[in-house]
Chain A
Amino acid sequence: MEEILNILDKEKGSVSRAKIAQMLGMEEKEVADKIKKMEKENIIVGYNTVVNWDKTDKEVVTALIELRITPQRGEGFDKVAERIYKYPQVKSLYLMSGAYDLAVTIEGKSMKEVALFVAQKLAPMDSIISTATHFVLKKYKEEGIVFEDDEKDTRQVITL
């Protein structure tokens, strides 16, 4: 099972059941069943594609926002986290140790749109003490994938 997850993780899901089966010496059906089961159990939560939007015409602005929060009695951070992650603009949300509590990644069409989202949606929430917005200037690597990677096979002819 772990092996299947490893391959899916590396290939970002873009690999056929048949190929996984071949790589692991299993039957295709067995692989398909295991994947289905893991999807059901939410071990495989989803599949994503890593896009370098800078190479397209679409304008995408990404920001990391640090939030400091007053936890609520009985709910901790979960309730406020839920109110935040339900927004489709929120790409990721982590509870953090250290100087702040929640790390939010936001994507928007422009800096203004992102800034307004923070000012109008996040900052006014009751339990939020402070926000700090950092805009991403350049993405070098995401989900383990290097963006400008042109590794060529430079191995030369050698006797061995």
Chain B
Amino acid sequence: MMDYDKIVSPVVSALPPSGIRKFFDIVAEMEDAISLGVGEPDFTTPWAIREAGIYSLEKGQTHYTANAGLMELREEICNYNERKYGVTYNPKSEVLVTVGGSEAIDLLIRSIISAGDEVLIPEPCFVCYKPCTIMAGGVAVPIETKEEDEFRLLPEQLKAKITDKTKLLILPYPNNPTGGVMSKADMEAIAEVLRGTDIMVLSDEIYGELRYGDEKHIPFSAFEGMRERTIVVNGFSKTFAMTGWRLGYALGPEKIIKLMTKVHQYGIMSAPTTAQFAAIEALKSCDNDVEEMRREYNYRRRYIVDGFRAMGLSCFEPLGAFYVFPCIKSTGMTSEEFCQNLLQEEKVAVVPGNAFGESGEGFIRCSYAYSIENIQEALKRIERFVKKHSK
């Protein structure tokens, strides 16, 4: 008999399973449960994009691409970023096409983090930064963001956590799970703290196109002095409703992109070819589809925020992504208790806030990547639940 406990890596073995996963394994077995749990668009990929993928298959484009991705795609990525945000990158040396934004995150962390290096992670946040850091031998240093600050990262919070071991700051805005965003002024304040340091920044801008309100998204690399220290991670999943195609990209300084490409080439070779051809079409011709989806999300966003406030929960107004993060402390339950009881009593699945870091305790994440009818029914049930348990 093999003793697997002696064989497995203690580091990997000790990684906690994701709190979301744990919770939704229960949901999967429950009939007629309705969900506000899923963190991906409900829209199907726009037809023009799907057709471009199909067409590439018909033409027999079934081979690997260059390690860094199809040149034409890299050029279109650069065109898109220049057209949308006014930032310029060299398609030959400053772009890497990856398997989703999440691969780019892993690549960057593995490329620059060694034993003992500290990575600053504003929480609550997407679940992968911390495990990636730990697997690279680094030390994850959480920075608690707060509801009263609309879950923004404040410059003094950042300053307080910087040590001489700080190597990397994660900037996950617009934010999953809170829906929080950083304004231009907020970002400038963070840039000011970083100027003159050697700290690198991983700006996870996967939800960048899903911003509501007056301000548009600005890549962190557009701020003075930030380009040389910033890797922008972006992708097609959220913007173009292409989650299953698994395609993202990283933009950054040549030296870093080169390192990341090296790791990528040994682990992945190249991102899926069909997805790359489809993505070219997405960047070229789908601005209207994106705008249409954004508009629809915005309707739902207002609707769901209004719904939570109407039932007496405090819910700050999220201006990005497709999540709301209402506070459930008034029920006296922990996030996990709330979610488990809600599922048992009303058959509604939402995600406990503490799955995204300790500072998410007392909150729940609700996705509004669902039809208005689905949201309406879920709100009705949650309201009944909250009324019953409010103290």
Contacts and interface: CB of A to CB of B under 8 A. Distances in A.
B306 A157 contact: no
Interface string A118-160: 0000000000000000000000000000000001010101111
A107 to B, nearest CB: 29
A159 B302 contact: no
B25 A7 contact: no
B299 A24 contact: yes
Interface string B1-20: 00000000000000000101
16 contacts: A7-B299, A19-B376, A22-B306, A153-B42, A155-B38, A157-B21, A157-B25, A158-B21, A158-B38, A159-B18, A159-B21, A159-B127, A160-B20, A160-B39, A160-B102, A160-B128
Contacts of B300: 23
Interface in B2-54: 18, 20-21, 24-25, 27-28, 38-40, 42, 44
Contact of A23 (B20, B126, B299): B299
Using C-beta atoms within 8 Å of the partner chain, give the interface range for chain B: 20 to 34
B172 to A, nearest CB: 12
Nearest to B370: A153
A74 to B, nearest CB: 41
B295 interface: yes
B127 A19 contact: no
B368 to A, nearest CB: 11
Interface string A1-24: 001001100000000000100111
Given A19-B372, A157-B21, 7 more contacts: A22-B307, A23-B299, A23-B300, A23-B302, A23-B372, A158-B21, A158-B38
A160 B204 CA distance: 14
A155 B370 CA distance: 11
Contacts of A7: 299
A155 B42 contact: yes
Given A6-B295, A155-B40, A22 B302 contact: yes
Interface of B is mostly: helix
Contacts of B303: 19, 22-23
Nearest to B292: A6
Q: Which of A23, A24, A151, A159 has the most CB of B within 10 A?
A: A159
A25 interface: yes
B176 interface: yes
A160 B295 contact: no
A154 to B, nearest CB: 10
B20 A159 contact: yes
A11 B314 CA distance: 30
Contacts of B20: 159-160
Nearest to B41: A155
Contacts of B372: 19, 23
A19 B375 CA distance: 12
A24 B21 contact: no
A98 B300 CA distance: 42
Contacts of B21: 157-159
Contacts of A24: 299, 302
A19 B372 CA distance: 10
Interface in A16-37: 19, 22-25
Interface in B303-343: 303, 306-307
B302 A25 contact: yes
Interface in B267-306: 295, 299-300, 302-303, 306
A25 B299 CA distance: 9
Per CB-CB distance, the 4 closest pairs between chain A and chain B, nearest first, are: A23-B299, A159-B18, A157-B24, A25-B302
A151 B44 CA distance: 10
A158 B40 contact: yes
B164 to A, nearest CB: 33
Contacts of A25: 302, 306
A126 to B, nearest CB: 44
A155 B241 CA distance: 12
B176 A160 contact: yes
A26 B306 CA distance: 11
Q: Which of B20, B128, B372 has the most CB of A within 10 A?
A: B372
A159 B37 CA distance: 10
Nearest to A24: B302
A24 B127 CA distance: 32
A157 B307 contact: no
